[in-house]
Every structure is written in C-alpha cells, then in structure tokens.
Structure 1
C-alpha cells in the first residue's frame, strides 16, 4: 500500500485530532488471539478454529494483551515470534453516507495484513510506516469487522537471504537486517526477549474534511533578533472549484496573510510571519522553553476552518565539530548536554498512559537532565513524548531505527521502504524545537570496524551521504551525524565526535580513565548493573537467582554488569562486595548501588572541569526494561535508583562537586548554567569521622553566568593540608571534606570522603530518625547521627525521597521530603548506611503527627 501522505502532515498538532476534525480513534472493543504460523489464511479460516480471544488494547501489542489478561510469562515471551497474532474489532458507529472515509494505521508490527469484512485491504512489512486506506465504498452496509493479522517472523527469518558483508553477535538472527522491525526483544543479553508485535500505534477512522490538507511545511528560524516562521503547503478540494480562498498563519498574537495559488483539484499556499525579539526556547537547565501557540486559518467562500499546529519555539541549534569536537550550541550558547538513552515507558504494551509518560519526563527534569537520546535499537517514540520534551525543555537526540547490522540498502524494495519511513518520521517530528540531533543509527559503523574490516566497508553511503542530505533538506536547523558512535579514526574511538564511553563501567577501568580518554561527547556511557531499590515494586527481583538471571551482559562475556558494580565497590570502597552475595545479600546490594553512583558522579566532575573537552554525557539507560539489576537510572517501575540520586546532585543547573587533581590537590567545582552570575561565599571544612574539625575556611565566590568555577581547597584553607592525600607524608589528618555555598539564590553543599578512608561502624543507638507530616500534608524525614554515616540509603515504600544515598555528617541533621505517595500519615521509612552494620533502622513516628 502507499504510505500515508495526508495523514502524516508535518507540523499539524496531532493532539488536536478529535471528532470535530473528523478523526475517530478506534481504541475500544479490540480482542486478540494467537494461532500457529500460517494456520489461517484469512478471517473466515480463523473463525472455523474457534480461537481463544483475549481482550486487547489498541494501540498495543500481543505481550501487552497477555499481561492485561494475567497470562504473560517472561520465560515464554521470546516464543511470540513463532505465532501469528490476530487482532479484531467490530466497528458499529459509521460516518454519514457520502462522506469520504479512510482507515489510518499508525504502525503495524511487523508482517501485517489488514482485513475489512473478510476483504484484505493492506499488507505491510515495515512497523515504522503509517498507512491510509480509503474505505468510503466499504462502509455503506452498517457494522463491519476489522482484523489485523501480524504474521510469525520465525518462518520469514528462516528463508535463504543474501549473505551480509559482516555479522554481529548482538542480534538474535542475522536475517533481521532485512525486516523493518524493532530490535527490542531480539537482542539477547541486552534486553528481555519480548518482541513488539501488533497494532502498536493508533488506528483511526478519518472522515475527510474539505479542504483536505495534503502537505504542510512550517519552518521557524531566528534571524538576528527577529523570529521568522515560513509556511507552505497544499490543500485538496474534491468538489466544485471555490470562488474565493484565503489563508493566514497565526503565531502567538501575530498573524500574517498567506499567498494562495489555485491549481487543479485544490490550491497551494505560502508565506512568512515575523516576530520582533521573540521569547526563545531554551533547554530547562538554561532558561525557559518558551513556545507560541500556532494555527493555520483557511477560509473558502466565507466558511472558515482553523487547523491547530504544533506550538512554535524559536531557537538556534549549532554543532561545533571542528578538530574532532562535538559541542552543541543553543541560541549561541554552548550547552553541556546530560541525560540518558530513553527506554519505552511501557515496554510490554508500547502504549503508555499519558500520566505515566509525563511522570517519566518530570523525573528526567527533576534530575537536571536536559537531553534524551532515542537509540536506534528501540522504536520511534509517541507524539506525546515529543510534546512533553518541547513543553519541559528537554533536548532530543533522535536516532533512526538502524542498529548493529549490515542493512541491505542496495535492495530496491528495502530502500523504498526505508525512504518512506524516514520521510514520514521527519514529517511527524515537524518543527519541534526540542529536536537537536538526527543520527543515522546506533553502532552500525562500530560493529563492522570492531571486526577489523576496512573503512570502505564500515563507512556506509546511506548514512554518510543520502540520509544526511534528506535530513538537511527537511530539518536544516538540526544537527546530523551518520551514527553513534562516529567521528574518530575508528568509529568507536571517543576522542573525536560522539562516542560510546564504557571505560568506567563495562570495561572496569579506573575513574582516572575518564580523564585519560576524554571523550568529546559521550552519547552512550557508564553502564552499571544497579540493583532495584528496596521497598519498591521492583524489589522482588533482588533475590540472588532473579538478580543473576536478569542482569544484562555482553554477548560472549564471562562477566555481567553486577560484576561491574562489585568491581567499583572494591576499587572505591575497598570492600569485596562479591564475597557478600550469599552471606549478606542486603549489604551486597547496597554496596553495588553505592559504588555505581559514586563512580558515575566522579566521572561527571572530571567531565565538567573548566578545561574538559567533553561536552555531553548520556547514560545508558534511563529506565530498566524489567525488574532486576539493569542499567537504568530508574527501575522498571519508574522509581529513581541510587545512580539517579547521585547524578541529580551533579546535574542541577547550579551544582557543587569535588575534583581530585592529585598532587595539585582537591578542588571544589561550582557549575552555573543559569543566566545570572552566582555570587556568595564558599566554605570548606576538613573533619575526622568523629566530627572534629581539622581545618577550614571560606572565601568569596563569583561564578559567571553559564560558567564553571574551580577553587582549590588549600586556597580556601590558606595552607597546605594535603587535601587530595596525594603526598602522604604521614597519617591523614582528616577523613571528610564538607563544602558549602551560601548565596542569596540558595545554598549548595557536597561531601567528599577521602580515598582510602574507612568510616568506623556506627551503632543504631547513635542514629535518630523520625517521620512527621508537615502542615502542608507532606511526609518529612529528619535524621541525625552521632557519627559519620557513609551513603545513607532510605527505603520509603510507596514514596520517593527528594534526596537519597547521601553522606551524613555527625551532629548535623538532614531533612528529606517524601513525594508521590497517597497517605502521608501512613508513610514509613527504613534507614541504612554502609557503616551501619546492624541493618536498617525504622524511622519513628513523631507523636501527635497529623496534617
């Protein structure tokens, strides 16, 4: 079938699709069944088998339907590709006779057939393409039955195909390179074996309006201090030629008439609107993500129609790639991009509730992340995801869905399919201000180069030239890279262009490797197996057997990513965490969480130092696919894990960190992404674990807007104190360094534990933890200790603490608010720490506690 043209119009606000515009979402009354592959050629044959129908959600997947029916089994999910899956819906509410009507399918995964009352309408083999089928003549007889059959991939994969130039061990079957489907569920060791099968995007019944908008291009740009929006498009009119047509573009309070040119069967329009000194769209870490509402008004013979457009944001995106650099500039300002590689919120059903999707993006913003990368081994995200990124000020690095394989771009059919896919996806992304980088795919060049193949093999013309030209033609305001990683002498070298940095993490290099290797932009980095948080829905996956089974591992490796976290517990804390797996599992898990977070935060301080060449860090991944010790900063339930809290402290627009410069001493880093200078006083206190102060001092602090300040501890103290404990002329005089910034705009603080310092064990009797409900009705924990507590971990079932995995200085209480729960007076908290050997202690309830 011909891919959708008019239904995938660039720049039209899809959130405005509704009955009044003729769009009817077909999301009710669906059911699903599975049959042996090829057992039923058509719906009539299916009916004769008396199939076992289950209720199904559409948009949705086979796995999602099984989950909702309480029949999903992780162990059996990989077998879903062995079956045909049928989805059925009876359409009873028909449009008025004579209306032009189309069925619109947003995405069918993957070898799909569509049947209407037993007549086959559509065959599709690309899950990333939207289709439109005219059914105007097929709906005159009342209720009709719609079937979507997603055929088994197993048989198709077994067919003989031309041999690839090279093969990867990361993908389950070599012939997946011929199919335009997601690698999610088909990369053993990387993610659970749950393939995407079914009508995973919306199905619509569209009653054609007059006029029908066939194409639209909206292009905002900045020209000095002026904002300019250029628009062009075409409308189709099937009836009589109108006498008078006018069109206008509205952006905010400004409106401009458009030039209308009649043609055969419709008219085209074009024009430009200008706004003097528009408010700019910024990533939220650097300003406000301002957007203007926009609409296209068309009037035909006195009858008007308003078409809502995606809100317009004015920003300028530039990428400095001189001399191997990869630095993103927004509105002329260099931005340190930090965030993660995105994971679908609904991994099984791929139909996330809008509230869950917003909660996930809110968690991204709360951590100080300003960029998300949608990687090429995943799926193109929902429109609502991009709406939220626009609204919340989160930059998007968008891969096209090519990853890890030698794709057959020389095959005419495959090439036509991916051209349609790329065109539609660029149309769908429209003029979104959050879109910052378009990327050919993930680890395609890297896979070939790591096999020792010549550059002529791993440099692919499709990514280097053809796709680049398409992206430049449609989104000249967005940067393009042929792949992630790419740019170095070899594509996986990280000293030029975007790179995948796992020196600290998967390759178990010391933290100093982040300094030695100095990636220019880490578009993937810092993979650790981080156990789920206690007291959360994912906590059940922390038992040893499940932990082992669900920990990601690289193909062929004799280690997994929990081994990585254990390595850094030994390297950073001097504790053999692996030896505790069986005899002290809770302590083992706490050590793994703490070590991963500590390693990540130390790397961030290296990459944020003033002279650093690194200009971005995107952690692999944002969210776990399933409960277990995954890579995610969030668990599969969306709750923050230990690493999220560590990075949250590093990634705020204003943050305080420590940097160990060896013989040059310990430094205090102050980052300031705000538009105003940070003025205040910076103090440090060098203390023993028992709270005795050894040295200290304070100095005036001034960090320029959008700048980074670095101050030596010795400069603040006024004398040599061996602050990095690098000279080691004798026993260390201190164990802990506490730094604080006091300013009219707010206070910052950070605590550094000297390398090699081992805090004494603390008795539970020396720790006081109490919960109360504030007058605002919010639970608040107050915690105090007579001695230093190393890595305080809070277990708060049903709630999320605003801070966690922090050091607590003796005699200085900390207060932590709990968020997201239902009943404040029933909130509970258990407190653990690395040097609290008696196990968690329960926070006491303050008497008379009521809001």
Structure 2
C-alpha cells in the first residue's frame, strides 16, 4: 500500500545569509517555484530577473513535513519503505532526526527501509538539499577540471545539465523534491522490478517477462503470473528464489506502427505476485500487481554501408523529427495536459520522432505514454551533453544506477526506438581540442563505449544502442562525417549562409537549426522594456547564443532586407528562420533513401527566448512551425537544383500530372510544361526541369511554379533583395465565425510570404496557416481562432498582416 507524502511541507534556507524560513512548499516542486509562489522572488522568466537569483543555487535548503503513522491499512506491514522518485539533487534524508540516506543524482529512484524509524503518532520527515554548485565544484577539485561548452560545472553532478544555462536557456540551478515521495507498506514479498522484452517472431508476438521480487519473508513459496492479449503464463518461486522468467507467445497480435505508417494498438500486460497457497501478501490482503501497456512491433537499426535507418516491422522509416528539451526549467510544473498539447503540436507538424536531448532528463511516464498512443518514435539520449565527464567514483556508480533505473522503467514502451550514449561528447573529444587539454584524464568514453552498452545489452537487448551523436559507427572514424551514421550541422547558423545545407549529402541529420524570435505576445510578456527595439537590453537578455543578435542579422544575407525597427526585425528574422529550415528539410528529404532522417533543433522552449524552437516558451507556434508542417507532409514537391523532386512518404503510390510554369511577376505565363509522373509509396522521383522553364529571361522579374496533386512549389530566380517586387495589393475580407474570424485574401498583385500575427491583438489568438505566396488573382483563406472578437481593421493591417513586398507605410 502506497501512502504519498505530498502535504504540509515547508521550505527553509539553511544559511546565515538568507533569512527565509517556514515558507509553504509544494511537493513535487522546487525551491524557485516555492519562493515565487510566496512572493519572495520575481518571476525568473521575465526581463533580467534571472540575474538576481543565482544565490538560490548556492544556498542549502531544507524541506520538512510532519505526518501521522500508521496510515490506514499499514499497521501490520512487515516492511515500510520511503520511496523517493526524484530528489534534486544533493539530498540528505532524515526521518525523526535520524539520517536515512544521502543522495546526489537527480535522475535516480530511491527506496529506503524505514519501518524501525517510524513511531506511532506524529513523525517528521526532513530533506536537506545542499548547494549544487558547492557539490559540483568540490567534485571538480577532487578529479580535475574537464572541458565543456559553458563555464559552469554541470558535468560534475548528475543533474539536468541545462539547469546551469545553455545557449537557449537561463541559469536557474534548482533544488527540491521534484517527483513523487511516499511510504510503501508491504508484507511477504513485492515485485521489485518487471522487465518485459517485447518482440515479434514473424507475424506472432513474444513477451519475455523478467520479474525480480524482494522478500520480507524468505521461506514463502511464490507464484508469478503474466497475462497479455488473452495469453497467460505462470512461474513458481521456491523459498529464497528472487528471479522469474515467463514467456508468452501471442499469435497474430495487432501490430504497433509509427504514426503515418499504421495504427498504435496497445495491449495491457499484467504481472501478479502471490504466495503459492493463494493468500495475500500485503497487510490488508490482495496481490502485488504491475501493469503496463505494451505494443507489438519489430525494430532494428540498418547500418549497412554507413546508413542509419530505423526499420519498424520490416519497413524503413524516414524520421521526420525534432529535438526535445525539458519544456520548463522547473519540470514539476509540466503536466500531462501540457505535454499532450506540445506533443500534439509535433504531430500536427507531421513529425513522427522526438529526440530527448542529452542535456535534459529521462522524461516522465506521461511523456512516453503519450508517445506510445500517438505513434511518436522516441530517441532517448542518456543525460550527457557537450562536456567531458569524469568516470571516477562516485560518478561511475551513479551513472550505472541511473541507467539501470531508467532502462528498466522505459523498456516496455513501444515508442522508444533508440538508446543514445550522449550528445556531442565524442565529437568534442575528437574535434574540439578536448583531448589535449584533458592530458589523459577520463572524459566519458568508458560510459559511452562500455558501461552504457553493457547495461542496455543486459536489460533491454530488444533495442539498438548508439554511442553518441554525432557518430560515424566506430571510435576511429571522424565522428561528424555526413557519409556515415548521424551528423550535426552547425556551420550553418554559426558561420555559413543557409544555402550551405545544399552541399550536404547526409545519411541522417540528428541536429541542425536556425534561430528566430518567439511570438510577439510571448516576447512582450517576457521583455517589458519601455521602448523595445532590437538593441534593447531586455531583448539581449533573452538571447543566450554567443553573438546571437548579430548572427540573426547576418543570416538574412542577401535573402531579405535588413530590418528597420522592431516590427520588421521580428517578421523578417522569423521568416528567415522558417525559410532556412524549409530549405534544409526539402533538401534532405529529396535525398531519400540515402538520407533517412532529419531531426531539427528544436521543437520546444523551456522559457520565453530567442531560439531555434518551432514552438516558443509560451507554447505559441512560430512561423517555423508552419514551414516544418509543409516540409514534413507525406507528399512534398520541391525544386532541387535543375530538377523538381516529388517525395511520397505515404503508403500509396502518387501518380498524375506535373505542371511547371515560368511566369512574370505580373502573373503572365511565359512558358508551361506538363509531364506525367508516378512516385511509388515511400519513394522519391526527380524530374529534370524542361528547358523552356528552367532559365529566366530576367531573373529579377520572373518566377517559377510547379504543381502536382494539389501541391504547389514556388521558386524565384533571384533573392528577395534583387526581385523587382510590385507593392502588394490585395483585397481582404473578414467574417466572424464561431470561435474566431475567417480572413479571405485575394491578391491583385504578387504577394510573397503572407502572414497573420493575431497574437499582437490578443495573446490567446492564433492562425491556422501562414507564409503563403499568392500570384495575382489567387485567394487564400485563414482561420483565426480567438476567445473574443478581434478588430477587423487591426487584423488586416500592418503589423498584424504582413508580406515581404507589402506596400510602403
């Protein structure tokens, strides 16, 4: 019987310098959110408040509560354990003044026997959290410094690395009971762990259940049963035995598929433990039971000739993915509903994979459960990122323990398709000069090439393990070679124009991205400078990337004009972000099956910031999101060099006519070619451009369109700064409809990258589409959802309605 201990907590600073005591605390939670709720600190996400809160991470904090014992039904329990699902991070646990344990790993689960420490009546539980900085700096002094991406000691403590700040995140070093805590009272025996190995053998499913029991009474014979999809198996454990293996053969089960490839049927797997005589185990009677939903599917990673391809149910899957970071700096605030919204945004953008990045967390059960049900594949990094990590004790033991905890927890999930050793650490060791500065000190290689693959092979042999990303498949190969394995592309954004993506011929791109600001409503909520400009100090604080503001402007290159004022800066840099990623995604998808995956950096943000995200820190979709939705659609029509490529990632063939038109900016057709096309399911077709349309008579005054199957692609022969655009003229009609406004735009001239930003009028408003290019005479309809009616004149005027060639203001 489990009794949560989530009530009655208080928070106190154990410090002579900080006078805070007895603050009401929420568990699960953290110090920052408790201080914020008490009105003792300003919101760290607003303005530059973050700068004045660094003392929190350098202070010792104590959480304390009292509770009555015994709880209902627990008086006769043979064992009582204190179960801590998440202590962040350097914790000393005391029950009635006696130290129960000392921990130092945010990523682990802990269980401590405490029956002898409990007393009848009132009990006191106290958890003291030492300063993460003090702990990390002490460990660094012991083992020697290690290189990392930032001047913070995040690699010396087993804690969410991005807590210490990143090039998209604030430095908010937390402490607290961040996951559930409670008392588990039990008798006889309990299921200590259940590991189901779920595989397919031909058309039949197979579940091998490996159950481990913990005993309070060693002389009891036990029965372990497992049941799934109408199939049942049983095993007997003699007195003293702890391990049971049960095999269930399931004939012809409904098969689980990634989204876009089929359905996601899930089957409850139930494992029960009982005395062989059938009497109950726990005080109060009843069986010990473990239940999870499993999915039957086969999985392998095709690495032939340098490839990196997920093969599910014998079908190669092109990964249309995004990197995932913690959705909040304070993870206890992330609800299932919030995750459902964010993962829904991934699905609505036609994604089928999320990579949980190594500077974050092993995510919550809710996250993986939603992915199982949505068909979103999960690539799970072990939490190591952008630094050389020490392999000495206590690090090695902590890493093994957290890996065992989380591999066992997550292995039932059909959505989980890869264990990845780290993010960019192998590349750092080989290519960033770490080897020389380390001078023989450990750097984490033993984790990625030995410890972690051993744990995965032992506990979860049904899934592939990959040592890190980027990685080319062997320790002696250049790790970031596009011709093999996984590659990260960061010369674009940091140094190169986004057209540089066109020079790449990768097998799988696991990280690449381009920055843009958040939605206007998000920006104005977070940055409250009185006269906001692109040079405002408040805006600069919400740009964490080195030289980020200059890179945003340099990134416009010859593609778009340099902005004048905040409104133009906001629209043009958002538009440039969307164009850059659309260019890359179309380029890489057109190279399938040589390239079999793209994982953009990144889907989401953890706070309001200028970043690479498609969905900003307030959950609003940026223009990039709409561009990704088009580029990740099952069917894609794209200009690639001297050809048009048709990409068909659907399950049925695509045949019809392809029409290519060269036309003047005025809309007058100058040449038209029509060709029959047929693209197989999960295939691509490259069609050379007919000579009549391939070249412009005057690049500044012409464009080209391609149409097939209801899709249209547009190519201009010159960059926007060289195109002789007419001033945009359009007729705009608004109509109130249930839940919002319908906006119909009919172009009288060419209109380039038309967008609506209704959040400027109401932060709750959003639009269903944007970045639409209309030739003269064409019409587009937008649906703006808002809880209150919007002013039609404002909705259809600058700076809410925008296009590249808008009329001079």
* TM-score, length-scaled by structure 1: 0.84
**Cα drift, residue 156 of structure 1:** 3.3
Q: Which residue of 2 aligns with 1:534?
A: 520
Matched, 1:384 2:366: yes
Q: Which residue of 2 aligns with 1:6?
A: none
Instruction: Confirm or deny: 8 A CA contact 2:30 2:176 kept in the other structure.
Output: yes
**Cα drift, residue 600 of structure 1:** 0.9
Instruction: Confirm or deny: 8 A CA contact 2:168 2:609 kept in the other structure.
Output: no
**Cα drift, residue 229 of structure 1:** 0.9
**Cα drift, residue 237 of structure 1:** 5.0
Instruction: Confirm or deny: 8 A CA contact 1:687 1:694 kept in the other structure.
Output: yes
Give runs of aligned pairs for residues 216-231 of structure 1, distance below 5 A.
216-231=194-209
Instruction: Confirm or deny: 8 A CA contact 1:182 1:196 kept in the other structure.
Output: no
Q: Which residue of 1 aligns with 2:409?
A: 428
Q: Which residue of 2 aligns with 1:628?
A: 609
Give runs of aligned pairs for residues 607-618 of structure 1, distance below 5 A.
607-610=588-591, 613-618=594-599
Q: Which residue of 2 aligns with 1:291?
A: 266
Distance 1:120 1:163, change over 3 A: closer
Q: Which residue of 1 aligns with 2:213?
A: 235
Q: Distance in 1 between matches of 2:584 and 2:248?
A: 46
Instruction: Confirm or deny: 8 A CA contact 1:759 1:835 kept in the other structure.
Output: no
Q: 1:107 aligns with which of 86, 98, 113?
A: 86
> Match of 1:201, SS?
coil
Distance 1:381 1:349, change over 3 A: closer
Instruction: Confirm or deny: 8 A CA contact 2:482 2:505 kept in the other structure.
Output: yes
Instruction: Confirm or deny: 8 A CA contact 2:665 2:703 kept in the other structure.
Output: yes
Q: 2:803 aligns with which of 821, 825, 833?
A: 833
Q: 2:184 aligns with which of 195, 203, 206?
A: 206
Q: Which residue of 2 aligns with 1:735?
A: 702
Deviations 1:532-588 (A, max 9, x none): 11244666547432332221324xxxx22x433323322323x2x2xx3xx422112
Q: Distance in 2 between matches of 1:327 and 1:607?
A: 14
Q: Which residue of 1 aligns with 2:46?
A: none
Matched, 1:695 2:681: no
Q: Which residue of 2 aligns with 1:58?
A: 27
**Cα drift, residue 119 of structure 1:** 2.5
Distance 1:177 1:240, change over 3 A: closer
> Match of 1:571, SS?
coil
Distance 1:297 1:212, change over 3 A: closer
* Worse-superposed segment, 24-33 or 446-455: 446-455
Q: Which residue of 2 aligns with 1:419?
A: 400
Matched, 1:352 2:334: yes
Distance 1:136 1:548, change over 3 A: same
How many residue pairs get aligned? The number is 769
**Cα drift, residue 764 of structure 1:** 7.2
What is the RMSD of the two structures over their aligned residues, measured on CA atoms?
A: 2.9
* TM-score, length-scaled by structure 2: 0.88
Distance 1:85 1:781, change over 3 A: farther
> Match of 1:363, SS?
helix
Q: Distance in 1 between matches of 2:756 and 2:171?
A: 33
Q: Distance in 2 between matches of 1:626 and 1:699?
A: 49
Q: Which residue of 2 aligns with 1:322?
A: 304
Q: Which residue of 1 aligns with 2:768?
A: 802
Q: 2:36 aligns with which of 46, 59, 67?
A: 67
**Cα drift, residue 387 of structure 1:** 1.0
Unaligned runs of 5+ in 2: 43-48, 280-285
Deviations 1:625-650 (A, max 9, x none): 32231121111011111211111101
Instruction: Confirm or deny: 8 A CA contact 1:340 1:372 kept in the other structure.
Output: yes
Q: Which residue of 2 aligns with 1:569?
A: 556
Q: Which residue of 1 aligns with 2:344?
A: 362
Instruction: Confirm or deny: 8 A CA contact 1:691 1:809 kept in the other structure.
Output: yes
> Match of 1:737, SS?
strand
Q: Distance in 2 between matches of 1:220 and 1:823?
A: 50
**Cα drift, residue 412 of structure 1:** 3.5
Matched, 1:768 2:728: no
**Cα drift, residue 391 of structure 1:** 1.1
Distance 1:472 1:787, change over 3 A: same
Q: Which residue of 2 aligns with 1:721?
A: 693
Distance 1:204 1:712, change over 3 A: farther
Distance 1:313 1:135, change over 3 A: same
Distance 1:166 1:788, change over 3 A: farther
Deviations 1:375-427 (A, max 9, x none): 22112211111111111111111111122333221x24322221111111111
**Cα drift, residue 149 of structure 1:** 1.4
**Cα drift, residue 280 of structure 1:** 1.9
Q: Which residue of 1 aligns with 2:490?
A: 502
Unaligned runs of 5+ in 1: 1-21, 40-48, 840-851
Q: 2:249 aligns with which of 271, 274, 277?
A: 274
Q: Distance in 2 between matches of 1:111 and 1:454?
A: 30
